[in-house]
Amino acid sequence: MKLNTLSIAVLSALASGSCLADLPLTIEDLLAKENQFRLTLDIGYANADRDNVNAQYDLVQTGDNNFIELPVAVGEQRQNSDTFTLALGGRYGLNAKTELSTRLTAISSDTRLSHGAQQHSQSADQLSQWTLGVNHQFSEDNDSPALLGFAEIVLAENMARKGSEYVHGKTAQLGFTTYRSIDPVVLSLTAGYRHSWNRETNDQHINPGDLLFINPSIGFAINSEVTLTGGVQFKFRSRDRIDGNSSGIRTSQTSLDFGLGYASSEYRTINLTIRSDISGNSGAQANLSLLHKFKD
């Protein structure tokens, strides 16, 4: 069954792979066409309020299945933080089934901390990471649900709390998206695994915890331009390791997602996603994504 305009917007908002976020609105344009270039822009905001942090790094989501690792102050009684992200990316079609993608992410953060009667704050403006990815469509939505795979490696990532301390090729992600269109509804599932290798930073050997994420979602086509989406996201993260010793605890977290997709023109789509924690540490995120397709 061929996906209509609104059905594809469902995938673009909540069910796409790491580089398949903000998918175009027709099935023929699910991936960039051969020799076609597309520009992506993601603007994000995340707020978190935490007590007695014991992990070395926190994950901030900058888009659908896109994450960055931020160092945190361990042991403070309370932390309240605001993080703004800006990600500029490009996608290029190698052929009808495969595309390459790249993304450069910058962050601006402000954190307030308290420990007993002492209170202080810290802020940072950083170029966070540069990634390279590939997306491939294994099958279309016909006798069986469609299946797409994605893989991504972080070519450079900043591990410093302030300033710059880059490591290279120490994080990678692999996953898939499957969906079924039952017009005007799309049922979808995205799952992925993010692995971090040991790296030397701040005069320590640090291995941030690995991440498994699962994101089932459903979307409904309101009309030919607007789609509403909803879903949940489950995240399972292993403990950090410092100089070979475990730090913190293994964690699981569940969040509730709401999305709105809008086709402003034949060549431009806009998606808004709001994500709120419903378990674990208290926090919420909002991401606004723009995809521009250059004319053939």
The pLDDT tens digits along the chain (296 residues) read 334 444 444 444 333 333 343 333 344 446 788 888 999 999 999 888 777 665 667 777 776 667 777 766 565 567 788 899 999 999 999 998 999 999 999 999 888 877 766 777 878 888 989 999 999 999 988 888 989 999 999 999 988 877 788 999 999 999 999 988 888 888 889 999 999 999 887 778 888 889 999 999 998 888 878 889 999 999 999 988 888 787 778 888 899 999 998 888 878 889 999 999 888 667 889 999 998 888 76
Handedness of CA 218, 21, 181, 225 (dihedral sign): positive
pLDDT for position 4: 44
- Supply the DSSP symbol for 285: E
pLDDT for position 84: 93
Residue 13, class by beta-carbon neighbours within 10 Å (0-12 exposed, 13-18 middle, 19+ buried)?
A: buried
pLDDT for position 118: 75
Q: Give pTM, 2 decimals.
A: 0.83
User: Can the peptide bond before residue 184 be classed as cis, meaning omega within 30 degrees of 0?
Assistant: yes
Residues 6+ apart with CB under 8 A from 125: 106, 107, 108
Report the distance separating Cα 132 and Cα 130, nearest Å. Answer: 7
pLDDT for position 22: 35
**Domains of the chain by residue range:** 5-293
Superfamily of segment(s) 5-293 = monomeric porin ompg (2.40.160.40)
